């Protein structure tokens, strides 16, 4: 082999190495952003299907809510109940009769009228015996649905339900048509300002503007939801300019690099996700209030929030989000105090601590929090065995089977403090006092009185130290700086893009 050839090979290799280094050193290529009418939204998970009335997966609502499907009422960016398919409504004095007046000219995407018969069908379907609605409980108070004329729906309740309008604003209460309901999983037909165009399974769902929408038309003509589960791939897709906006971005450690980059805007807002150290109140030694309080004193929330969320998130002292009216700050009730923990454990007859198991579901916040909490509890003599689990076994064994000591999970449904009143829930918690306040809440419509009652419920849960109350999951959005109108906060899990525009 002549030397010449070998030298040539060497030169080619060197050239490639230098080229690589040069390319890495060069700045990113920025696309010139003209005034666009399309938007590419990044999502971590792909929805299993697109029917919000037949599944709990948040990803279904994150594509369809407010964009494609409309419930009677809607939740806006501030978390308030605003008109949806119903433009207005009246509630009777006893809180048992709701009369909804539907928008004139509302049509489904297949061209048929969206009238009171469709509403009656949707509500009856959700509460019927064959219902596979993930939030069937939202419809439990309904005694009957009448449609006196095409634009009016009268819903009668068997008992007052203070959250009825709020629950009717959820994706699970989306109004669907009897002709198309069966096929909504693959080809959803709603009444919203966007309609379904196509779904490239595993990659993207595309919605286009509905030219026949009877309300205000959105600025965007086309919205593409792309599904990218791998954190490194999410960062790369944003940096490469493939994604315009990535809401619910949970790779918190990557936020600083986007903050430092002028091409991107980072927004950190609130969610409804109370993250708790779920505790089996029926199991020894957690049936002893002193043990639960001892554990509350052993957890340093500041370290937890810094370690898990890189500082992005608010501490909580009970099961209620700080941004909601009615919130009571109870984070000072059990200050971080390992000596206090040891004293309480000794009082409970466990001076040497005890052994227990912490079963963790897959989300990254749960895995990271679990490791930190296990270390914090080890400091005070509580020896925790950490057991990571997949979703399906977690749901089956921990959530449904209540076979656990400790677990860690964010409860993301809005205003879900009522779960502590459910008999047979996985906390195994029962308090007559809490339930009495809950019954009072159902009878109360006045918001000031409701907030006072919520405060009382929060205090009861904190005093009973039912679970370890840790932090609220933040809602981080990373997007190109020219995108305007994405929600900063997530009062419900949705990506309402009806108000989004490019500047």
Q: Which is nearer to other proteins, 18 or 240 (CB)?
A: 240
Helix (H, G, I), strand (E, B) or coil at 60: helix
Q: Does 34 bind other proteins (CB under 8 A)?
A: no
The least distance separating other proteins from the CB of residue 396, rounded to whole angstroms, comes to 5
230, 253, 329, 379: residue in contact with other proteins (rule CB under 8 A): 230
Helices (H) and strands (E) in the chain, counts: 13, 18
Q: Does 352 bind other proteins (CB under 8 A)?
A: no
Q: Which is nearer to other proteins, 86 or 141 (CB)?
A: 141
Instruction: Please tell me the distance from the alpha carbon of residue 351 to that of residue 346, in angstroms, as a whole number.
Output: 4
Nearest residue to 399 via CA among 364, 363, 360: 360
Instruction: Find the part of the chain contacting other proteins (CB under 8 A) among 100-108, 124-132, 145-153, 255-263.
Output: 124-132
78, 94, 110, 203: residue in contact with other proteins (rule CB under 8 A): 203
23, 34, 35, 93: residue in contact with other proteins (rule CB under 8 A): 23
Evaluate whether 221 touches 209 at the Cβ level (below 8 Å): yes
8, 11, 233, 325: residue in contact with other proteins (rule CB under 8 A): 233
Question: Which residues are CB-neighbours of 439 under 8 A, at least 6 positions away?
Answer: none
Nearest residue to 84 via CA among 500, 371, 496, 503: 496
34, 93, 111, 130: residue in contact with other proteins (rule CB under 8 A): 130
Q: Which DSSP string corresponds to 299-341?
A: --HHHHHHHHHTT-S-B-SSSS-TTSTT----TTSS-S-HHHH
Q: Does 55 bind other proteins (CB under 8 A)?
A: yes
Instruction: Please tell me the distance from the alpha carbon of residue 330 to that of residue 366, in angstroms, as a whole number.
Output: 22
Q: Which is nearer to other proteins, 28 or 148 (CB)?
A: 28
Q: Does 159 bind other proteins (CB under 8 A)?
A: no
Q: Does 229 bind other proteins (CB under 8 A)?
A: yes
Q: Residue 284: what are its φ and ψ, rounded to 5°?
A: -70, 145
158, 186, 447, 484: residue in contact with other proteins (rule CB under 8 A): 186
Q: Does 33 bind other proteins (CB under 8 A)?
A: no
Q: Does 201 bind other proteins (CB under 8 A)?
A: yes
Beta bridge partner(s), residue 73: 83
Binning the chain into helix, strand and coil, the percentages to the nearest 5 are 35, 25, 45
Q: Does 16 bind other proteins (CB under 8 A)?
A: no
Q: Is the dihedral of CA 228, 229, 235, 236 positive or negative?
A: negative
120, 195, 226, 342: residue in contact with other proteins (rule CB under 8 A): 226
Q: Does 200 bind other proteins (CB under 8 A)?
A: yes
The least distance separating other proteins from the CB of residue 10, rounded to whole angstroms, comes to 9
Q: Does 367 bind other proteins (CB under 8 A)?
A: no
Helix (H, G, I), strand (E, B) or coil at 395: helix
- Using left for φ > 0, alpha for ψ between -120 and 50, and beta otherwise, residue 241 falls in left
- The Cα-based distances of 291 to 48, 294, 466, 468 in angstroms read 41, 5, 11, 11
The least distance separating other proteins from the CB of residue 448, rounded to whole angstroms, comes to 28
Instruction: Find the part of the chain contacting other proteins (CB under 8 A) among 244-252, 348-356, 395-403, 454-462.
Output: 395-403
Q: Which is nearer to other proteins, 53 or 341 (CB)?
A: 53
Q: Which is nearer to other proteins, 31 or 436 (CB)?
A: 31
Q: Which is nearer to other proteins, 204 or 501 (CB)?
A: 204
Cα 42 versus chain centre, distance: 16
Instruction: Find the part of the chain contacting other proteins (CB under 8 A) among 41-49, 158-166, 245-253, 371-379.
Output: 41-49
Q: Which strands sit side by side in the sheet containing 264-279, from one edge to the other?
A: 194-200, 204-209, 222-227, 38-43, 245-246, 468-480, 264-279, 406-411, 354-360, 382-388
The least distance separating other proteins from the CB of residue 485, rounded to whole angstroms, comes to 24
Q: Which is nearer to other proteins, 57 or 372 (CB)?
A: 57
Query: Two tokens at 433?
Result: 């006092």
Instruction: Please tell me the distance from the alpha carbon of residue 375 to that of residue 308, in angstroms, as a whole number.
Output: 14
400, 436, 439, 447: residue in contact with other proteins (rule CB under 8 A): 400
Count residues binding other proteins (CB under 8 A). Answer: 59
The least distance separating other proteins from the CB of residue 472, rounded to whole angstroms, comes to 17
Q: Which is nearer to other proteins, 152 or 180 (CB)?
A: 180
Sole residue written with tokens 């509350």: 296
The two beta strands, 222-227 and 38-43, are parallel
8, 16, 18, 28: residue in contact with other proteins (rule CB under 8 A): 28
78, 90, 187, 391: residue in contact with other proteins (rule CB under 8 A): 391
Nearest residue to 340 via CA among 301, 295, 398, 304: 295
Q: Footprint of other proteins on this chain (CB under 8 A)?
A: 1, 6, 9, 13, 20, 23-24, 26, 28-29, 31, 46, 48-49, 54-57, 129-137, 185-186, 200-204, 226-230, 232-233, 236-237, 239-242, 390-393, 395-397, 399-400, 411, 413, 416
């Amino acid at each position: 082999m002549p030397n010449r050839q070998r030298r040539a090979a060497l030169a080619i290799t060197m050239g490639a190495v230098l080229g690589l280094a040069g390319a890495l050193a060069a700045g990113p290529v920025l696309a010139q952003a003209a005034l666009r009418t399309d938007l590419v939204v990044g999502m971590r998970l792909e929805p299993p299907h697109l029917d919000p009335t037949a599944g709990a997966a948040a990803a279904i609502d994150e594509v369809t809510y407010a964009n494609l499907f409309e419930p009677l009422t809607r939740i806006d960016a501030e978390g308030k109940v605003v008109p949806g398919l119903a433009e207005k409504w009246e509630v009777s004095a006893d809180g048992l009769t709701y009369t909804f007046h539907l928008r004139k000219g509302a049509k489904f995407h297949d061209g048929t009228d969206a009238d009171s018969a469709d509403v009656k069908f949707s509500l009856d379907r959700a509460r019927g015996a064959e219902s596979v609605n993930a939030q069937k409980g939202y419809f439990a108070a309904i005694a009957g649905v009448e449609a006196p004329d095409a634009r009016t729906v009268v819903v009668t309740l068997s008992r007052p339900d203070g959250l009825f309008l709020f629950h009717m604003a959820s994706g699970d209460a989306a109004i669907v048509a009897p002709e198309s309901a069966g096929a909504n999983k693959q080809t959803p037909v709603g009444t919203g300002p966007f309609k379904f165009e196509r779904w490239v399974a595993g990659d993207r769902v595309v919605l286009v503007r509905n030219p026949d929408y009877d309300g205000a038309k959105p600025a965007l003509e086309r919205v593409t939801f792309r599904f990218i589960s791998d954190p490194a791939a999410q960062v790369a897709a944003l940096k490469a300019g493939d994604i315009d906006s990535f809401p619910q971005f949970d790779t918190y450690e990557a936020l600083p690099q986007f903050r430092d980059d002028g091409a991107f805007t980072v927004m950190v807002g609130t969610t409804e996700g109370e993250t708790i150290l779920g505790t089996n109140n029926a199991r020894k030694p957690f049936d002893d209030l002193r043990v639960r309080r001892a554990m509350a004193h052993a957890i340093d929330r500041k370290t937890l929030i810094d370690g898990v969320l890189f500082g992005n998130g608010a501490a909580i002292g009970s099961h209620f989000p700080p941004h909601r009216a009615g919130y009571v700050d109870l984070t000072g009730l059990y200050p971080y105090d390992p000596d206090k923990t040891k004293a309480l454990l000794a009082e409970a007859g466990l001076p040497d601590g005890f052994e227990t198991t912490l079963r963790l579901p897959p989300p990254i916040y749960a895995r990271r929090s679990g490791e930190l909490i296990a270390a914090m509890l080890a400091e005070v003599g509580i020896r925790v065995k950490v057991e990571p689990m997949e979703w399906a076994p977690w749901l089956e064994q921990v959530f449904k089977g209540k076979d656990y000591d400790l677990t860690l999970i964010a409860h993301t449904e809005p205003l879900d403090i009522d779960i502590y009143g459910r008999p047979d829930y996985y906390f195994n918690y029962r308090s007559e006092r809490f339930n009495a306040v809950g019954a009072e809440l159902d009878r109360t419509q006045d918001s000031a009185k409701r907030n006072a009652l919520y405060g009382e419920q929060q205090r009861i849960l904190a005093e009973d130290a039912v679970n370890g109350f840790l932090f609220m999951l933040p809602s981080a959005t990373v997007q190109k700086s020219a995108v305007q109108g994405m929600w900063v906060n997530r009062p419900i899990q949705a990506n309402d893009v009806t108000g989004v525009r490019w500047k």
